[in-house]
Structure formats: structure tokens, C-alpha cells
């Protein structure tokens, strides 16, 4: 993958496609991401990111919100969020 493919447009509005659902499962101890033939247990940071991937917020808004909520440097948040979203999109678990 080239560097160009690793970036995501700031106005992209990431959302979970049909067949990928973030649900709270008490028996399994918290949030799980359900996908075709797969189940992921997101770590707390990934869970915060995924909760914001509803198709309503742009990438820039998600990063602003997270940087604000967790008093983290925006640049660092952007790097982490981009890496996670790109990896999920490559696995067909996210639409950008």
C-alpha cells in the first residue's frame, strides 16, 4: 500500500456497513464488533473510535472530539484513528 492510500480525507464520514454491528454484550463483557464470520473485542480506545463511526461525523470531527474528550494531541489522535480506520476498511468492516 502506498502512503497516499494510508491517508483518509478529512471530510470522509466513516460508518459501519450492513452486516457489521457494534453491540454491547454483557455475557462477553462489553462492546463487541460483529462482522461476517468474525467477532472483535475492541480495546477501550478502538471502542471510542468505533462508537463515533455512525456516518454522521466526518473524520476531522471525530478526531477533534477525541482529542478534546481525552485531552490528547490532535496529531497523535489523527494518526491512531487513521491507522485503525484504514485497517478496518481493508477488512471490509468500515465504509469511508
Partner 1 sequence: MAAGSDKLPRPLGLLAELTHRCPLGCPYCSNPLELDRRSEELDTATWARVFGEAAGLGVMQVHLSGGEPAARRDLVEITAAARQAGLYTNLITSGVGLRPETFAALVDAGLDHVQISIQDSEAASADHIAGYQGAFERKRALAAAVVARKVPLTVNAVMHRANIDHVADMVALALTLGASRVEIAHVQYYGWALPNRAMLMPTREQVERAVAAVEELRTRHHGAIVIDAVVPDYYARFPKPCVGGWGRRSLNITPSGKVLPCHAAESIPGLEFWSVRDRSLADIWISSPAFQAFRGTSWMQEPCASCPRREQDFGGCRCQAFALTGDARATDPVCHLSPHHAMVAELAAVRTEAAYIYRR
Binding residues with partner 1: total (CB under 8 A): 20
Degrees (nearest 5) of the Cα angle 59, 93, 20? 105
Residue of 34, 45, 57, 72 that binds partner 1 (CB under 8 A): 34
Residue position matching grid coordinates 454522521:
56
Mark the segment that binds partner 1 (CB under 8 A) among 31-39, 49-57, 61-69, 74-82. 31-39
Would you count residue 21 as binding partner 1 (CB under 8 A)? Answer: yes
Q: Please check whether residue 34 is in contact with residue 23, taking contact to mean a CB–CB distance below 8 angstroms.
A: yes
- Chain contacts with partner 1 (rule: CB under 8 A): 1, 5, 17-21, 23, 25, 27-28, 32, 34, 36-37, 39, 89-92
Amino acid at each position: 500500500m502506498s502512503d497516499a492510500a494510508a491517508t483518509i480525507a478529512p471530510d470522509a464520514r466513516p460508518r459501519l456497513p450492513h452486516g457489521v454491528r457494534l453491540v454491547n454484550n454483557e455475557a462477553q463483557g462489553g462492546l463487541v464488533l460483529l462482522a461476517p464470520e468474525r467477532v472483535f473485542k475492541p480495546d477501550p480506545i478502538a471502542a471510542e473510535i468505533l462508537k463515533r463511526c455512525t456516518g454522521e461525523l466526518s473524520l476531522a470531527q471525530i478526531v477533534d472530539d477525541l482529542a478534546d474528550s481525552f485531552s490528547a494531541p490532535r496529531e497523535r489522535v489523527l494518526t491512531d484513528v487513521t491507522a485503525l480506520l484504514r485497517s478496518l476498511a481493508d477488512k471490509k468492516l468500515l465504509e469511508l
